[in-house]
Every structure is written in structure tokens, then in C-alpha cells.
Amino acid sequence: MEGLAAAYPWRLWASLDHCVEPEIARDREEVLDRIARTVRLNIECHARASDAGIVSNFMPVLQGRRPSDYLRCLDGIAHILHPGQTVAIGSTCRRAVYGEDGLLAVFETLDRHLDPTFRVHGFGIKGPALSHLRAFEHRKITVDSSAFSYAARMSALFNGHAKTNRFVADHMERWTERQYVRLARPRSAFQSLLPLPPPIESTLTGWEAAVAAAREEIRTLLIEGEIAHDQITDAWIAEWAVDLLETT
């Protein structure tokens, strides 16, 4: 990977990451596991970038399902960040604009916790959301999208002709023009989220609490590079939980 990143003076290149959309991460534990893996990948990519002398244009990626998940990811990579860096936000392409886990909630939460000098890049943000993100224009937000490529592929399929580079480029040009039109409209109002109520006290049983604690300890080891993500199994987690119960 670092060979490709060093092959050309790219403006930015991103870390590998693990997406957490519902179609991929089936439950809350899987979301947290994939966030831990993303943290570890950021750290490893940063280390390889440093060795290759290309860390200056390295872009770490934050992942999460909830806004607080992104802060969890941010805390995990805080030691590899530097002022003025661009930080990418993943798992946004299918996310609603509004709502407690919506795109605006994620951006608003991160905006309050990121260093004031940080810029933000959004992976796969939909065109209709762009005007809303103008509330965060101080972050000098950049975005990318494959919407034009998908539209070109569907058009070529249904009209029975080749999906040539020129054909895709025409779709990309039209898509870009539409986004500039959206950005020229008056900025949409956005009210920051109200403070969340205090968390509800846990009702986990002794065994459930031990399993949850075991998962957290294993994720920490994963982030620290002590274990590989493919070593984690349900049987191992259960064994770890038994050890925790026996020592408490």
C-alpha cells in the first residue's frame, strides 16, 4: 500500500478502514470491533508512511455508527495527529442528513472535538447534503462521490452502449455542475444538538458484564497491535470472560 501511496505526489492518501454500515456490521459489538480495527489500521498506515517519508499527506479515517463512535476512534489515533491535518469521515454514503446519528450530528460532534486547525474530508457524501455542510465551511470540507460513476453504469446498461471513459467523464461533469448549483443556494439553517440525557445505568448480568469487559480488553490489545483481528473468536471472548469472573 505504501508503495502505491509513494508512487506519485498525491495531494492526500487515506488510511485503510473498516466500514460499519448495518449491512456490514450486524450488531453493536461488531461496530465496536470494526472501530478498533480501524484505529489499528490508522496507526499501522501512519507508521509505514513515516518509514516511507510520505506522512505529510497521510489522511487518517474516522469510523462509527453513532457520533460518539467517531470520538472513540478519534481518541484512539490522537497520538498520530498533527495540527492542520485533514481527517476523513467514513460510513457517510448511506447516512441520513438529520437525526441523532445523522450526517449533521456526526459533523457537529466532531467539530466540537477536533483541533481548530483540522480540515475534514467526507467519503461518499450525497449531493443533497452539501448545502447543509456549509455550516462547517471553516473546516474547509472536501468530499468525494461515486454517484456519477453509478449513474453512468446504469445509463450504459439500460441504453445498451459501452461505459467509456468519455461517457463517465460527461456524467461526472454534469454531477459536478449540479453540486455547484446546490452550493450557490442560501445556506440551510442548522441548530446544534441539545445535550444528551445522562446514560441509563447498565442492567447487564454478571456474565454479560464480564463478556462486555472481555471485549473491551481484547479491543485494546487489538489497537495496541498485540493481537491480530482474525484471532478474535467467540470462544476466546467467552474464555476471557470466565477468567475475569474468576479474578473478581
Cβ atoms < 10 Å from Cβ of 15: 25
Instruction: Note the maximum CA span of the chain.
Output: 68
Alpha carbon distance 91, 95 (integer Å): 7
Q: Residue 44 above 90 pLDDT? A: yes
- Which CATH number fits the domain that encloses residue 137? 3.20.20.105
Do 75 and 156 lie in one domain? The reply is no
Judge if 43 and 139 occupy the same domain.
Answer: yes
* Residue 195, in any domain of the structure: no
* Predicted pLDDT at 200: 59
Residue by residue, DSSP assigns 20-63 as --TTT--SHHHHHHHHHHHHHHHHHHHHHHHHHT-GGGEE-EE-
Does some domain include residue 133? yes
Q: Is 129 helix (H, G, I), strand (E, B) or coil?
A: helix
**Do 122 and 3 share a structural domain?**
yes
Which has the closest alpha carbon to 91: 69, 123, 67? 123
- Whether residues 112 and 163 share a domain: the answer is no
pTM of this prediction?
0.78
Task: Say if residue 34 is in the same domain as residue 110.
Answer: yes
Domain membership of residue 192 (yes or no) is: no
Which pLDDT does position 72 carry in this prediction?
96
Share of the chain above pLDDT 90, in %: 48
| Whether residues 158 and 141 fall in one domain | no
Query: For residue 246, is it within any domain?
Result: yes
Residues 108 and 164 in one domain: no
Same domain for 219 and 161?
Answer: no
79-110 per-position pLDDT tens digit: 999 999 999 999 888 888 888 999 999 999 99
> Is 165 inside any structural domain?
yes
The answer to whether residues 4 and 123 belong to one domain is: yes
Give the residue numbers spanning the domain of 85: 1-145
CA-based radius of gyration for the chain: 21
DSSP track, 98-120:
SSTTSHHHHHHHHHHHS-TT-EE
Same domain, yes or no: 113 and 74: yes
Among candidate residues 57, 17, 55, 10, the one with its CA nearest the CA of residue 36 = 17
